[in-house]
């Protein structure tokens, strides 16, 4: 049985593609043969497009706001008009927002913006993409949640709540799309080196504490964008044809346990 992931003939949208997980995923989807429409608010999405094209992939780029309904609708329509349909959406775009653990340091406007991008964005992607994907005979929608959505301690309060919403959203959507052939899942990354986590990594490097990154997970390291991209590729592919409504942690094992005291050296 072959386990090669081949997206030849598939059309995919990847949001948040200007850097980090989105860029890595867009490049990997294109490498697997998909025609990819990449989206982001940042100008750097054009750099991602150039990287894909230089590697021989087929792609187009659109600068847009994933939390704006009209712009999401236009994005989906562009995928159909440019590439002839839509099979896959990776709703990855997100913002951090707020202060770490700052439930009482944030205000309603900050919460509203985080929820607009992180939760309403994936909702809009599902709303407009699912009918197009169903029309092609089925496919996959993947969203980026976070280990912060699984339990406390991994991000600001507004961010954590928005990602918990994404986890429930994919479960709800999977059932509301029953019988359509459209699967909806999400990935819960742990600490990954991206533009969003750059301040954490920069501080660790400046303080000579880079070896402390990821120390709370069993693998004792942070993750790379490509490690999340490979999970997204799998969930988007036919290899994951019986996975639906699930939240997949990709976090080095961080979410596998409640907090425990270090065990120290193992005995003989």
Q: Which residues are catalytic?
A: 159
Contact 207, 217 (CB under 8 A): no
Separation of alpha carbons 29 and 20, rounded Å? 14
Quote the radius of gyration of the chain (alpha carbons, Å): 18
Helices (H), the chain: 20-31, 45-54, 69-83, 108-115, 121-135, 157-176, 198-206, 225-236
Give the span between the Cα atoms of 252 and 200, in whole angstroms. 18
As a dihedral over the C-alpha atoms of residue 34, residue 37, residue 40, residue 46, rounded to 10 degrees, the angle is 90
Residues 183, 174 contacting (CB under 8 angstroms): yes
Residue found by looking up tokens 């429409």 in the block: 37
Residues for the chain: how many in total?
268
H/E run at residue 14 = strand 11-15
């Amino acid at each position: 049985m072959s386990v090669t992931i081949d997206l030849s003939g598939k059309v995919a949208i990847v949001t948040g593609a200007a850097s980090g997980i989105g860029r890595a995923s867009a490049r990997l989807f294109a490498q697997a043969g998909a025609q990819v429409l990449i989206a982001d608010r940042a100008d750097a999405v054009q750099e991602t497009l150039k990287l894909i094209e230089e590697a021989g992939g087929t792609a187009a780029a659109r600068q847009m706001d994933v939390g704006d309904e009209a712009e999401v609708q236009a994005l989906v329509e562009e995928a159909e008009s440019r590439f002839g349909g839509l099979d896959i959406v990776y709703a990855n775009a997100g913002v951090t927002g707020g202060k770490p653990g700052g439930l009482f340091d944030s205000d309603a406007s900050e919460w509203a913006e985080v929820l607009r991008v992180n939760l309403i964005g994936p909702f809009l992607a599902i709303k407009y993409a699912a009918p197009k994907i169903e029309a092609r005979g089925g496919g996959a929608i993947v969203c980026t949640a976070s280990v912060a959505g699984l339990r406390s301690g991994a991000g600001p309060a507004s961010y954590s709540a928005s990602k918990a919403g994404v986890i429930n959203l994919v479960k709800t959507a999977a059932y509301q799309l029953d019988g359509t052939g459209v699967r909806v899942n999400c990935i819960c990354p742990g600490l990954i080196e991206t533009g969003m986590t750059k301040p954490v990594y920069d501080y660790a490097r400046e303080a000579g504490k880079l070896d402390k990154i990821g120390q709370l997970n069993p693998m004792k390291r942070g993750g790379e964008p490509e490690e999340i991209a490979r999970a997204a590729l799998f969930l988007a592919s036919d290899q994951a044809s019986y996975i639906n409504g699930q939240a997949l942690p990709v976090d080095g094992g961080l979410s596998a346990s409640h907090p425990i005291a270090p065990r120290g050296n193992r005995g003989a």
